[in-house]
Amino acid sequence: MIARRSTKIKRVGIDWDLIARHGGIAKGTPIVMEKGWKKREFEAALAAAYEVVNKRDGNRSRVTGVELFAEHASDKSRREHNHLGERSTHPEKITDPSNIFLCSTLEHKYLTSHAIEIEGEDANQRLIFRWNLAMLNGNPPPFRLLSKRRSQNRAAA
């Protein structure tokens, strides 16, 4: 009779301790962890920028001068951080304090709907606000603006 070779596969154990002692298997950092680190860094930078803005503006609205509070029931005095250059169109300026100013939630709604126009590009400098009367649809302005030009409001061109 002819001796046959064994057709069974010989199993070899992997010595994971030996691999770990020699630096392990280089796979790189998982993407989930990198994204988490970037998100935490971004949130910390944004919180720092908001702190600078809160101190600079003295927790007062730049639009009306009303005192603002972080968590308040009234939209007229709840604090919002508005960006001069929108976050979606100017991502490089999101954490730049010169791009952020304080306003109330009510004022923020009018700013985002373009019923209030902003003149100025640096929040560290003077910002001028004026009503866009065309966006108010013939209604009178709901509140007085703190800083405005002497020429007052104008209809949108």
Q: What are the pLDDT digits (tens) for 47-56?
A: 999 999 999 9
- pLDDT tens for each residue of 105-140: 999 999 999 999 999 999 999 999 999 888 888 889
**pLDDT for 155 beyond 60:** no
Give the HSE-up count for residue 52: Cα atoms under 13 Å, Cβ half-sphere: 14
Asked if 99 and 92 count as a contact pair (C-beta separation under 8 A), the reply is no
42 vs 153 pLDDT, higher one: 42
> Which of the 8 DSSP states describes residue 123?
T
Residue 150 has pLDDT above 70, yes or no: no
Please say if the pLDDT value at position 1 is more than 90: no
CA–CA dist 49, 106 (Å, integer): 22
Share of the chain above pLDDT 90, in %: 52
Question: Could you tell me the pTM of the whole model?
Answer: 0.73
